[in-house]
A = this chain, B = another copy of it.
Amino acid sequence: MTDEPTTRDRLVQAATRLFRQRGYDGTGLTEILAQAGVPKGSLYHHFPDGKADLACAAAHWTASEIIRVIDDSFRTAPDWRHGVTTFCYKMAKLFDILNSADACPIFGLMFEGPDHERFRAQAEQSFDRIIAAAANYGEALGLGPEAALDAAETFIIGFQGSWTLARTRRKSDVLRGLPNRLYGPA
């Protein structure tokens, strides 16, 4: 029992990072393998369908990470807007760490590639998990079920757009400014 990440985890994490930077088709297996320090045989042992399998695992893992940040942001929040604001600031910090160059963690990695429908379904599921997690906190903070779902969708839509604009400008301000855009001046 070591705390070394397993071979599988190293593959998923290296793939996540690279897909986020260069996209699905832009990332070669060779590069993933090199960064993970894993030979090709292991990849096809853990992911029999190869690259596509790995991409789906990466998408799922990424969604879980996002939900973790949502948890951290909303658990102690006094109201919905505070939760959103904390989330945006945390993600802006992450954005800066990533050199402002990566695609939005959630949305960036899942579209191109062969087998379009499989990736689309995976993306839809990831989206819904994330929105549901946010909506759950909305309800806990006093919103009705429908209002919470609507607020969560608006939030995620705004976040996705903001990340994209932040990326083209290389400035994380856009992310931190989202709450004001959505809910008016503080």
Residues of A within 8 A of B (CB): 22-26, 101, 103, 107, 111-113, 116, 120, 123-124, 127, 150, 153-154, 156-162, 164-165, 167-170, 174, 178, 181
Q: How far is the CB of A58 from chain B (nearest CB, A)?
A: 16
In the assembled complex, the Cα of A123 lies from the Cα of B168 at a distance in Å of 6
Q: Which 3 A-B pairs have the closest CB atoms?
A: A157-B161, A161-B161, A25-B25
A165 x B169 contact (CB < 8 A): no
Given contacts A26-B112, A111-B103, A168-B127, contact A157 B153 (CB under 8 A): no
One of B22, B107, B158, B168 near A158 (C-beta < 8 A): B158
B23 x A127 contact (CB < 8 A): no
In the assembled complex, the Cα of A162 lies from the Cα of B181 at a distance in Å of 15
List chain B residues, Cβ under 8 A from A112.
Answer: 22-23, 25-26
A168 x B124 contact (CB < 8 A): yes
Given contacts A120-B168, A168-B124, contact A113 B26 (CB under 8 A): yes
Given contacts A25-B25, A170-B120, contact A164 B154 (CB under 8 A): no
Given contacts A161-B157, A164-B107, A164-B160, contact A124 B23 (CB under 8 A): no
A161 x B169 contact (CB < 8 A): no
